Structure 1
Amino acid sequence: MSSPSATMVVWSSAWLSGAAAADDVLDALQDWAEQHEVVAADENLAASLEIPVRGEPGGAPAALLAALRRAGVDGGLLVMPVPGDVRGLGGAGAFATEALRAGEAVVLGGLGVVPERVGSAVGSGILRWTVFEVSPGTPQPNVPLSEAEHELTGAMRVAAGMLIELGVAKQRAGVREELQARIAERTKASWPAGMPQRALRVLQRAAEVAAILELAMEDEPGGALSASSALKRAEALRPLFSAVRTARCAAVADAVRALSDHAGRL
C-alpha cells in the first residue's frame, strides 16, 4: 500500500507550500489511524520543537506542523529502508535504527520522523510519530520518476507471471476478486490538489504490484510451504519489492517538487 510516511510528506509539503490547509493534512492522516500523536526522541529536541519528549503523553500533529513552519522547512522526502538498502538514512544512529525497523520514515529538513502503530489495525488505534534530529542535507535516492516507472512496469509483468508460475489462481478460489479488494484498500489514500498525474499513476501501479507480490508471498490455504521453498520465493520476489519501494519514493519526490513549484509561482 502507500504508507503513513508518504501521506505525511506529501500533505505536509503541500501545506508548507500553501497548496493545502493544516486541517487537510490532519484529515488525510485519518486514513491511517483514528488518532495521531507526536513526540521528540530526546529532551533537547522536545524543548526546541515545543512537543512532548518520548515517554510522555504525545502531542498533536499540528504542533509538528507548527515546528516545521518555524524551522523554515519547505518540503520533505520519503525513505523506505530495508536491510541491505538504507539509502537516505544518513548513516548509523537512532533515526536510522527506528526507520529501518519501521520500514519507512520522513525526512523534513533537519528532522527525521518515524511512524509507529500503537494498536493492531490500520485505520484504528494510535499512530505515534517520533521526531529525531538528523544532519541537514542527508543524501537521498535520486531515481528519475521515468526510470522508476519503467522498472515498475517490468516488475508488474514479472509479478503477474509469478502468480501463474506459482499456480496461485488454481490454489485460491476467487483470487481475482481478492486481488481487486486488496488494491482498492491500498489505493484509498487521498492526495492534495496539484499532485502531478504521473506521480499518481506510479503510486497506483506500485499499489497494484505490491498487492500481487503480497498474494504471491502467501502460502496456499491449508498448505504448508517448506522453509526452503519460502526462502526461494522471497529471494525471487525481492527485486520486485525493491522496484515498488523505489517507485513510491520517486513518485513522492516528484509530487513534492511539483508542490514546491506551486509555492514558487504564488
Structure 2
Amino acid sequence: MWTSAWLSGAAASDDVLDALLAWGEAHEVVAAEAEAAVGLDLPLTGDFPATPVQLLAALRSRGAGETRLVLPVPGDVRGLGGGGAFTDAAVRAGEAMLLPSLGFGLVPQMIAEGLVRWSAYKVDTSVAPEYVGLADAEHGLTDAIRDSAGALQALDVAKDRPGVRAELSAWLRARPRPQWPAGMPGRALRVLQRAEEVGAILAVAEIDEPGGALSASAAMLRADALRPLGNAVRLARYAAVNEAVRLFSEQAGNIQ
C-alpha cells in the first residue's frame, strides 16, 4: 500500500520506511535468484543484504508501476501466474507483493525477532489478476460469518466461554497497527478493518479452551466449518488492498 502511494506521489520514501516498522524493527532485501539480482541490483541470498532504501531506489529508477498484493494458500494461488520458486515461497509465507511492470515479486519472511527479510524473485506477471470487487468481498464476509456460525452451532463446538472478549482484545492489541497513506480510500479501509475484526474472532475460535480439548474428529469438523470464514477474510484483504492500490495508480496517471 505504502509503496504504491509513494510511486504515485502520495507519500514520501521516509513514510514507506516508517510504515515498515509496524511489521519489524529491521528489514533487509536479497535476491533469491540471479535474474532478480541483476534486474533489481540486489545481492543474492547469503551475501550482505541490501536495505529497503536501496530497493526503493531500484523501483524508482526502473519505473515500477502498480504493485499488487497476493495472499496465496494451498489450493488458491490466484494472481501468481504459475508455479516455480516464487509461488512456493509465496504459499509458504501466505503473502507476497508483485511488481507486474518489472516482472518481479517480493516475499517477506520473519527470520528473527524484529527482523524481516524480503526475497526477490523473477516471476511471470503476464497473467491478468482476478478482480474481486469490494462489494463482493463485504458480502462474502457477511455470508461466511453467518454460515460458519450456523455450522459451529450445529456441531455444538461454538459454546460461550468466559473471557472471550478479553481474548479478542488481546489478539487485536498484539497485531501490528500500521498507519495508512493520506488519501486511503474510505471503503477499502472499512473492509480492511472489518476483515481484521473477523480475523480476531476466527483466531480465538480456533483455540481450544484450557482443559477442554476437542476430539480429533470434532477438531476436524470445526476446522471445516471455519475454513470459509478464513477464506472470506483473506479475500477481503486481497480486494481492499488491491482496490486502494488501483486508485492510487489512477491518481498518479491523472497527475501525469
TM-score by length of 2: 0.91
Aligned to 1:38: 29
Aligned to 2:109: 116
- The SS at the match of 1:166 is coil
Aligned to 1:169: 160
Name which of structure 1's ranges 134-143 and 49-58 shifts more when overlaid on structure 2: 134-143
Asked if 1:191 is matched to 2:184, the reply is no
Aligned to 2:53: 62
Q: Distance in 1 between matches of 2:179 and 2:160?
A: 31
Q: Judge conservation of contact 1:155–1:209 (CA < 8 Å) in 2.
A: no
Choose from 62, 70, 78 the match for 1:79.
70
Equivalenced residue count is 251
Q: Distance in 2 between matches of 1:137 and 1:129?
A: 22
Aligned to 1:25: 16
Asked if 1:104 is matched to 2:102, the reply is no
- The SS at the match of 2:160 is helix
Name which of structure 1's ranges 179-188 and 204-213 shifts more when overlaid on structure 2: 179-188
Cα gap change, 1:159 to 1:179, in 2 (>3 Å): farther
Choose from 213, 221, 226 the match for 1:224.
213
Q: Deviations over 1:214-257 (max 9, x none)?
A: 11111111222222211111111111111111110100111101
Q: Deviations over 1:139-159 (max 9, x none)?
A: 322111111111112223445
Q: Distance in 2 between matches of 1:35 and 1:128?
A: 9
TM-score by length of 1: 0.88
Asked if 1:181 is matched to 2:170, the reply is yes
Q: Give the Å deviation of 1:108.
A: 1.1
Cα gap change, 1:47 to 1:187, in 2 (>3 Å): closer
Q: Kindly provide the amino acid, as one letter, of the partner of residue 107 in structure 2.
A: V
Aligned to 1:4: none
Name which of structure 1's ranges 90-99 and 156-165 shifts more when overlaid on structure 2: 156-165
Q: What 5-or-longer segments of structure 1 have no aligned partner?
A: 1-9
Q: Distance in 2 between matches of 1:168 and 1:179?
A: 15
Q: Judge conservation of contact 1:186–1:207 (CA < 8 Å) in 2.
A: no
Q: Distance in 2 between matches of 1:52 and 1:168?
A: 52
Asked if 1:16 is matched to 2:15, the reply is no
Aligned to 1:240: 229
- The SS at the match of 1:113 is strand
Q: Distance in 1 between matches of 2:241 and 2:158?
A: 34
Q: Percent identity over the alignment? A: 56
Q: Distance in 2 between matches of 1:112 and 1:210?
A: 26
Q: Kindly provide the amino acid, as one letter, of the partner of residue 134 in structure 1.
A: V
Q: Kindly provide the amino acid, as one letter, of the partner of residue 64 in structure 1.
A: L
Choose from 137, 160, 175 the match for 2:126.
137
Q: Distance in 2 between matches of 1:136 and 1:116?
A: 22
